[in-house]
């Protein structure tokens, strides 16, 4: 019941529903159904229904609880198919009322400003803002601010440093009313293949201005360069050592994730806690996601999500069939390397689309045929390669 409550809460309160589903599950479905396991059968408790335009861009997403309309999101786009406005509405006694709004501003392909506002019954009132600065496609700074009724007041700042295209350091600072004060930082390390192998989170000691360890994540990969395990550790200040905390293990069918098992450290060993089982349709899109808890030595169903997609989501397997390629690692947490290109297809343009049809990144393949993915949110994407005459597109997973 805990997972069901969480999923319904997310359906109701995540303001940008399409982004939530891309982050958590991948492509945006036309119909999404959440079921609860009764012990003998699945019982539907909530659903979402989406409509799409002729370009396969989402127009509306409606959330239903027990078959009753509860909330909906309405999307608007610019000529470049970038989302410029999302209006969230709630249903009261059969009438839709405005609730909140997100407005996006872009510089080229980069989202440089997001403004959230709330409806007071007659007009929109500013609430929250994120301003982003880029160097090329690399996000170098984000500033979050809140509306005080008259002006925007700074709240949080993130500053990113890179080694090449790899994010090496992220620093967060808080605004004290006059100055930015350092709060935390994350350090990222990579192997020779540019795969993320660990990230270290530290907190700033305000007294002696030193950085103190807090927690870290360690990533390992299998022989196919697929993410195999994430291990999480907490820093024990008394003993000055790392202590195991949690672990996530991934299994695959081909390059598709088939199972994710989460375990916790009991002081001696990792014990399984819950797992997610994923199945896919003929187009390689997630068709079903089953959540289970580990109890008494057995896995027990708790909830299920079923995905049904619009016909336009078959882009990756039906539209481009003129040449082939592969890539690694998949899932990707930092970069994607294109492999096995046929002879004569070495100079290529690339475009990356999320599964609501939005172009999130484009460019020309560099000499080592790698594409940076570290600023894409978790989910499924479509990579399209083109040499001007021929095109091919395939899906890949971003997972941190």
pLDDT for 246 equals: 96
Q: Above 50 in pLDDT, residue 314?
A: yes
Question: Mean pLDDT, to the nearest integer, of 79-90?
Answer: 91
pLDDT for 112 equals: 94
Q: What is the pLDDT of residues 164-218, one digit of tens each?
A: 878 899 999 999 999 999 999 999 998 887 788 999 999 999 888 999 999 999 9
First to last CA, the chain: 27
379 versus 227: the higher-pLDDT residue is: 227
248 versus 330: the higher-pLDDT residue is: 248
* CA 133 to chain centroid: 20
Query: What are the chain's domains?
Result: 2-313 (2.40.128.720), 316-398 (2.60.40.3080)
Query: In sequence order, what DSSP letters do the residues of 300-363 get, joined into one string?
Result: EEEEEEEEE--GGGGHHHHT-BSS--EEE-SSBSSEEEEE-PPTT--S-EEEEEETTS-EEEEE
Instruction: Report the percentage of the chain scoring pLDDT > 70.
Output: 82
Q: Which token pair is 291?
A: 């959540």
227 pLDDT band, cuts 50/70/90, is: confident
β-strands 152-163, 166-175: how paired?
antiparallel
Cα–Cα distances in Å, from 44 out to 1, 6, 59, 200, 304? 13, 15, 25, 41, 9
pLDDT for 17 equals: 42
d(CA 125, CA 148): 10
Helix (H), strand (E) at residue 59: strand 58-65
Query: In sequence order, what DSSP letters do the residues of 117-131 get, joined into one string?
Result: EEE-SSSEEEEEEEE
Q: What is the mean pLDDT of the chain?
A: 83
How many other CB atoms are found less than 10 A from the CB of residue 3? 18
Give yes or no for a contact between 48 and 31, defined as CB atoms under 8 angstroms apart: yes
What is the 8-class DSSP label of residue 134?
Answer: E
d(CA 278, CA 345): 34
Q: Above 70 in pLDDT, residue 400?
A: no
Question: Mean pLDDT, to the nearest integer, of 284-289?
Answer: 84
Question: Mean pLDDT, to the nearest integer, of 106-117?
Answer: 92
391 versus 17: the higher-pLDDT residue is: 391
Alpha-helical regions (H) of 17-136? 17-24
352 pLDDT band, cuts 50/70/90, is: confident
378 versus 85: the higher-pLDDT residue is: 85
Q: Above 80 in pLDDT, residue 10?
A: no
Q: Which token pair is 108?
A: 């080229």
Q: Above 60 in pLDDT, residue 321?
A: no
d(CA 264, CA 259): 17
Strand partners, 293: 274, 300
Strand partners, 7: none
Nearest alpha-carbon partner for 400 in 316, 325, 329: 329
Q: Above 80 in pLDDT, residue 357?
A: no
320 pLDDT band, cuts 50/70/90, is: very low
243 Cβ neighbours under 8 A, 6+ residues apart: 233, 234, 235, 236, 265
How many other CB atoms are found less than 10 A from the CB of residue 274? 19
Q: What is the pLDDT of residues 20-43, one digit of tens each?
A: 444 444 557 888 898 999 999 999
Give yes or no for a contact between 288 and 305, defined as CB atoms under 8 angstroms apart: yes
Rg (CA), the chain: 22
d(CA 351, CA 363): 7
Q: Which token pair is 274?
A: 């819950």
Query: In sequence order, what DSSP letters do the residues of 181-204 get, joined into one string?
Result: EEEEEEEEEE-TTS-EEEEEEEEE
Question: Mean pLDDT, to the nearest integer, of 281-298?
Answer: 87
pLDDT for 182 equals: 95
366 pLDDT band, cuts 50/70/90, is: low
Buried b (16+ CB within 10 A) or exposed e, 187-211: bbebeeebbbbbbbebbbeeeeeee
Q: Above 90 in pLDDT, residue 82?
A: no
Least confident stretch, 11-15, 123-127, 271-275:
11-15
3 versus 149: the higher-pLDDT residue is: 149
Dihedral, CA of residue 377, residue 378, residue 381 and residue 385, to nearest 10: 70
Backbone angles phi, psi at 19, to 5 degrees: -65, -40
Give yes or no for a contact between 352 and 360, defined as CB atoms under 8 angstroms apart: yes
Least confident stretch, 96-110, 184-198, 209-223, 357-371:
357-371
12 versus 295: the higher-pLDDT residue is: 295
Strand partners, 32: 48, 307
Nearest alpha-carbon partner for 334 in 198, 213, 232: 198
pLDDT for 315 equals: 46
């Amino acid at each position: 019941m805990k997972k069901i409550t969480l999923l319904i809460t997310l359906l109701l309160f995540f303001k940008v529903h399409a982004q939530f589903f891309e982050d958590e599950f991948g492509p945006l479905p036309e119909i999404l159904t959440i079921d609860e396991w009764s012990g003998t059968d699945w019982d539907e408790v909530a659903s979402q229904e989406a409509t799409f335009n002729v370009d396969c861009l989402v127009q509306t997403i409606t959330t239903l609880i027990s078959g009753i309309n509860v909330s909906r999101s309405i999307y608007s786009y610019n000529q470049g198919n970038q989302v410029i406005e999302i209006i969230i509405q709630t249903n009261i006694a059969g009438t839709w009322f405005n609730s909140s709004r997100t407005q996006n501003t872009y510089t080229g392909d980069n989202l440089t400003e997001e403004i959230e506002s709330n409806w007071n019954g007659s007009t929109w009132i500013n609430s929250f803002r994120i301003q982003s600065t880029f160097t090329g496609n690399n996000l170098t700074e984000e500033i979050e601010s809140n509306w005080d009724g008259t002006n925007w007041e700074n709240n949080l700042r993130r500053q990113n440093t890179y080694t090449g295209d790899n994010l090496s350091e992220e620093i967060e600072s808080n605004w004290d009313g006059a100055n930015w004060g350092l709060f935390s930082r994350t350090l990222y390390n990579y192997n020779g293949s540019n795969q993320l192998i660990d990230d270290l989170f530290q907190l700033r000691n305000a007294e002696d201005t030193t950085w103190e360890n807090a927690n870290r994540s360690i990533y390992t990969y299998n022989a196919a360069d697929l993410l195999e395990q994430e291990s999480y550790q907490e820093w024990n200040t008394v003993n000055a050592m790392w202590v195991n905390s949690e672990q996530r293990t991934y299994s695959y069918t081909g390059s598709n994730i088939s199972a994710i098992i989460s375990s916790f450290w009991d002081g001696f060993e990792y014990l399984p806690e819950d797992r997610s089982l994923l199945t896919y349709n003929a187009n390689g899109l997630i068709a079903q996601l089953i959540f289970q808890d580990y109890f008494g030595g057995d896995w027990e169903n708790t909830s299920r999500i079923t995905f049904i997609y619009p016909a336009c989501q078959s882009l990756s397997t039906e539209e481009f069939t003129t040449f082939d390629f592969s890539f690694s690692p998949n899932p990707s947490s930092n970069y994607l390397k294109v492999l096995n290109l046929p002879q004569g297809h070495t100079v290529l343009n690339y475009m990356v689309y999320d599964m609501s049809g939005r172009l999130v990144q484009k460019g020309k393949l560099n000499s080592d045929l790698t594409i940076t993915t570290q600023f894409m949110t978790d989910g499924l994407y479509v990579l399209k390669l083109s040499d001007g005459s021929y095109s091919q597109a395939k899906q890949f997973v971003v997972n941190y």
